[in-house]
Amino acid sequence: MGLQIQSQPAQNLSAAFELQGSAERGELLLLSPIGSTLAQLNWTPQSAELKQGERQWSSTRLDELTTLLTGTALPVPALFDWLAGKSTTPAGWRVDLSQLAQGRIQAERQSPAPQVLLKVVLER
């Protein structure tokens, strides 16, 4: 997963990831190149929890914790649809699934600012 945020200064994040569950209840792990866990995000309809090393945060809003983790709100529920080949588009986002068969997804957020580019490359 690669994430580019056009903020001042620009931010770039890349990490391997594992996504389990569903849009309503699931887990997202971000992993280093050697496979160690950088962050673990769990959510249910009522709450979300982020663990990063010894630090832990809780919220009733998943997007609040993805912002804390990456610097921007990520459309995690839509990611499940995108992986299933459905072009669900949350407000402000545009998704390109034309290379999904090759294991690639690209999504852009135009609004709200800053602009965000999310690239996903799947291992097959």
Residue count of the chain = 124
* CATH C-level class of 2-121: mainly beta
The SS3 of residue 78 is helix
* pTM, entire model: 0.91
pLDDT, tens digit (0-9, with 9 covering 90-100), for 29-85: 999 989 899 999 999 999 999 999 999 999 999 999 999 999 999 999 999 999 999
- Give the model's pLDDT for residue 21: 97
**Residue 35: both structure tokens together:** 């496979």
- Which pLDDT band holds residue 8 (cuts at 50, 70, 90)? confident
CB 89 within 8 A of CB 95: yes
Residue spans of the domains in the chain: they are 2-121
The pLDDT score that the predictor gives to residue 111 is 92
Q: In a 3-state reduction of DSSP, which class is residue 62?
A: helix
Whether pLDDT at 124 is above 90: no
Average pLDDT of the segment spanning 16-23: 96
User: What is the predicted pLDDT for the residue at 106?
Assistant: 98
Mean pLDDT of 11-27: 95
Q: What share of the chain is helix, strand, coil (3-state, %, to 5)?
A: 15, 45, 40
User: What is the Cα–Cα distance from 118 to 35, expressed in whole angstroms?
Assistant: 21
Q: Is 43 helix (H, G, I), strand (E, B) or coil?
A: strand
